Amino acid sequence: MLGGDLRVNRLGFGAMRLGLGAAAGDPRAGVAVLRRAVELGVNHLDTAGFYGFGDVRAHELIRQALSPYPGELVIATKVGPLVGVGGQATAGQLRGLVEEDLRRLGVGRLDLVYLRVGGGAEPGGESIGERFAALAELRRDGLIRHLGVSHVDAAQVAEARAVAPVVAVQNEFHVHRRDDAGVLALCERDGIAYVPYFPLGGGTRRIDAARLAPVAARHGATTAQIALAWLLARSPVTLAIPGTGSLAHVAENVAAAGIALTVEDLAELAA
């Protein structure tokens, strides 16, 4: 339950990779992937205005594929990075970014907006209170339903929560990158959704498929499915948002939610 009132399935879909592969040359491929994801039960989409490759942009694909949106569909987006000019938006620039997301997605209110903090460096080291307060004002104005933070440390989560409720944290975390266990524990303690980005690797630390292969073989699964199943087993507050531009992979990813790892599996993956 995101924010106590939005029920989502724990296996969602991340839109960052929609413009890759076939979709990069043919937006219809991205539309087909999105529609198939929803057919398979996905009701949590994670996107951002800065997601896209060339003329293929995630927001526009989502709107083309799914609008008018199903009532149970939750769309989360992120604001902060400035496309084209680089750097981070100031507090005063965030309203414009939120209004642009509303227009591009074709909605009157955004379900969940994350303040995406920083660039490629490790999280932390800067204040986010002023920018988060700007989003909190937009929430009071009715443009945003719930707020989250992304690429943050525990101190920044606390700073944001002192301003307004935080319903979700999105940080890098996967079976072979567990540095953020402290923030995950905080989220679990306080009932905040924890949404790992790069759930299948792709960030600063890759997933070692060979280490996952024995568990995958026991379940007749792929190593990617085991990595996703591990995230869901790691904590009851984790939500997985793997992304893909492939119809085959979206079905494979969704099926990972049905894999029940054993105590022995988890012990082996913890090694």
Residue 187 and residue 162 in contact, taking contact as beta carbons nearer than 8 Å: no
Other CB atoms within a 10 A radius of the CB of residue 104 amount to 17
Q: Is the peptide bond before 242 cis (omega within 30 degrees of 0)?
A: no
pLDDT score, position 204: 62
Residue 243 and residue 16 in contact, taking contact as beta carbons nearer than 8 Å: yes
Other CB atoms within a 10 A radius of the CB of residue 87 amount to 9
At 114, which helix (H) or strand (E)?
A: strand 110-116
pLDDT score, position 36: 97
CB proximity list for 127: less than 8 A, separation 6 or greater: 159
The ranges of the chain with pLDDT < 70 are: 19-25, 203-204
Active site residue 51: yes
Among candidate residues 51, 69, 114, 197, the one labeled active-site is 51
The residue extents of the domains of the chain are: 13-204+235-251
Superfamily classification of domain 13-204+235-251: NADP-dependent oxidoreductase domain (3.20.20.100)
**Dihedral sign from CA coordinates of 20, 25, 26, 29:** negative
Q: How far apart are CA 98 and CA 109, in angstroms?
A: 10
CA 259 distance to own-chain centroid: 21
Each residue of 209-238: pLDDT tens digit? 999 999 999 999 999 999 999 999 999 999
Does this model's pTM top 0.85? My answer is yes
